[in-house]
């Protein structure tokens, strides 16, 4: 059904610090972008900010908009169109789909931001056209999504798939945020874990570049550790290798479960590129089952900061195509 229409939609990436809306055609031409901060007092103010941003993207583009897709950092109840629980935004049990549809006067499609990014990569990016794809977005936490037979796997009420909360160490450290588990991939291999491991490695090797940066009181960012590793600092390389191997343990489970042709890895931590992915590929080759491990490609994401916006647009294009097919 996909790929024949020349429709234009608005893709909205809703984040903890800003909302980005883009008017896109189905060939990914961006006609207009609009952006506003989301540091708001309450849900009512957040709704007003989102509506204003979408209206700006709509009026600034010269194409007819037929639908709006939203990627939201939130668990979603797809059955009722409700944004259930967010960590970084004042959203709680909000009938997001109906509220936005009424305010904007357009069909609205919503999903978790991880699912939106997965859709962007599978429709238009690093796994374009591949039917079976696992996406991991590594930032402060780990999000992502699973696409099988070309469709997002969302589970019963549509709140899946929380790929960052696969356990890789039963007795590992407590997970982040509202997750009651221990040793999740998110707490072992996220940007937050990278910072924690880099600090410890710097303390163990005070004479290294990493150790000197730490002693100088410079805040260690993922980008900084990556830069030191690229320059050949051994402790910095070892930290990225450790994180990559942990990532590989998680990916091996996804390979065994879903036998995807592509595992796409995105997010800020991917500045490390193959310093992170090569150890992950080695672990998958060591640990996953054949034949799945022989056919999987572990690749960096094609989309950077605009993944959410593109994915939200893909969500709207998909939703409109599905509605047209039903009609």
Please list every residue from 199 through 228 that binds Zn ion, using CB under 5 A: none
Q: How far is the CB of 247 from Zn ion (least distance, A)?
A: 15
Please state the φ and ψ torsions of residue 94, each to the nearest 5 degrees.
-100, 130
CA dihedral 301, 302, 306, 311 (to 10 degrees): -80
The reply on whether position 33 binds Zn ion by CB under 5 A is no
Q: How far is the CB of 16 from Zn ion (least distance, A)?
A: 18
The reply on whether position 302 binds Zn ion by CB under 5 A is no
Q: How far is the CB of 235 from Zn ion (least distance, A)?
A: 27
The reply on whether position 194 binds Zn ion by CB under 5 A is no
> For the chain, first and last CA: distance in Å?
13
The reply on whether position 182 binds Zn ion by CB under 5 A is no
Closer to Zn ion at the Cβ: 84 or 126?
84
Strand partners, 112: 72
Closer to Zn ion at the Cβ: 181 or 256?
181
* Number of residues lying near Zn ion (CB under 5 A): 5
Q: How far is the CB of 303 from Zn ion (least distance, A)?
A: 25
The reply on whether position 175 binds Zn ion by CB under 5 A is yes
User: Of the ranges 8-16, 62-70, 108-116, 176-184, which one interacts with Zn ion (CB under 5 A)?
Assistant: 176-184
The kind and range of the H/E element at 8 are strand 8-14
Closer to Zn ion at the Cβ: 31 or 165?
165
Cα–Cα dist 45/248, whole Å: 42
User: Of the ranges 132-140, 158-166, 229-237, 250-258, which one interacts with Zn ion (CB under 5 A)?
Assistant: 158-166
Are 254 and 189 in contact, with CB atoms under 8 Å apart?
Answer: no
- Of 5, 88, 181, 261, the one binding Zn ion (CB under 5 A) is 181
The reply on whether position 165 binds Zn ion by CB under 5 A is yes
Are 236 and 210 in contact, with CB atoms under 8 Å apart?
Answer: yes
Cα–Cα dist 130/123, whole Å: 8
Return the closest-CA partner of residue 111 out of 36, 120, 103. Answer: 120
Instruction: Count other Cβ atoms within 10 Å, centred on residue 280.
Output: 26
Closer to Zn ion at the Cβ: 42 or 171?
171
Return the closest-CA partner of residue 111 out of 312, 310, 282, 254. Answer: 312
Q: How far is the CB of 175 from Zn ion (least distance, A)?
A: 3
User: Of the ranges 172-180, 198-206, 222-230, 289-297, which one interacts with Zn ion (CB under 5 A)?
Assistant: 172-180
The reply on whether position 184 binds Zn ion by CB under 5 A is yes
Are 118 and 145 in contact, with CB atoms under 8 Å apart?
Answer: yes
Q: Is the dihedral of CA 259, 260, 261, 262 positive or negative?
A: negative
Q: How far is the CB of 189 from Zn ion (least distance, A)?
A: 12
The reply on whether position 179 binds Zn ion by CB under 5 A is yes
CA of 3: how far to CAs of 135, 258, 303, in Å? 22, 26, 19
Cα–Cα dist 82/103, whole Å: 16
The reply on whether position 169 binds Zn ion by CB under 5 A is no
Cα–Cα dist 22/10, whole Å: 5
Q: How far is the CB of 255 from Zn ion (least distance, A)?
A: 20
Q: How far is the CB of 301 from Zn ion (least distance, A)?
A: 22
Closer to Zn ion at the Cβ: 165 or 212?
165
Per CB under 5 A, residues contacting Zn ion are 165, 175, 179, 181, 184
């Amino acid at each position: 059904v996909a790929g024949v229409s020349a429709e234009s939609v608005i893709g909205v990436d809703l984040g903890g610090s800003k909302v980005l809306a883009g008017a896109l055609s189905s060939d990914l031409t961006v006609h207009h972008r609009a952006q506003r901060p989301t540091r708001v007092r309450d849900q009512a103010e957040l709704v007003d900010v989102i509506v204003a941003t979408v209206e700006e993207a709509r009026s600034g583009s010269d194409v007819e908009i037929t639908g709006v897709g939203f990627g939201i950092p939130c668990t979603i109840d797809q059955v009722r169109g409700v944004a259930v629980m967010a960590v970084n935004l004042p959203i709680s049990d909000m009938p997001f789909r109906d509220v936005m549809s009424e305010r904007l006067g357009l069909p609205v499609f919503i999903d978790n931001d991880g699912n939106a990014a997965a859709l962007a990569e599978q429709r238009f990016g690093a796994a374009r056209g591949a039917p079976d794809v696992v996406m991991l977005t590594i930032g402060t936490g780990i999000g992502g999504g699973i696409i099988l037979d070309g469709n997002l796997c969302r589970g019963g009420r549509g709140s899946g798939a929380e790929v960052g909360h696969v356990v890789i160490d039963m007795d590992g450290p407590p997970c982040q945020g509202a997750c009651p588990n221990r040793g999740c991939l998110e707490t072992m291999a996220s940007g937050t874990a990278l910072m924690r491991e880099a600090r410890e490695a710097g303390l163990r090797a005070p004479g290294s570049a990493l150790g000197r940066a730490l002693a100088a009181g410079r805040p260690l960012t993922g980008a900084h550790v990556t830069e030191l590793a690229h320059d050949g600092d051994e402790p910095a390389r070892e930290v990225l290798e450790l994180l990559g191997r942990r990532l590989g343990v998680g990916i091996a489970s996804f390979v065994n479960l879903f036998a995807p042709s592509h595992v796409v890895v995105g997010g800020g931590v991917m500045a490390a590129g193959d310093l992170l992915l090569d150890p992950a590929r080695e672990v998958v080759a060591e640990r996953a089952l054949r034949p799945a491990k022989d056919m999987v490609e572990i690749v960096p994401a094609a989309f950077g900061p605009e993944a959410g916006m593109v994915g939200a647009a893909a969500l709207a294009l998909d939703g409109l195509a599905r509605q047209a097919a039903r009609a």
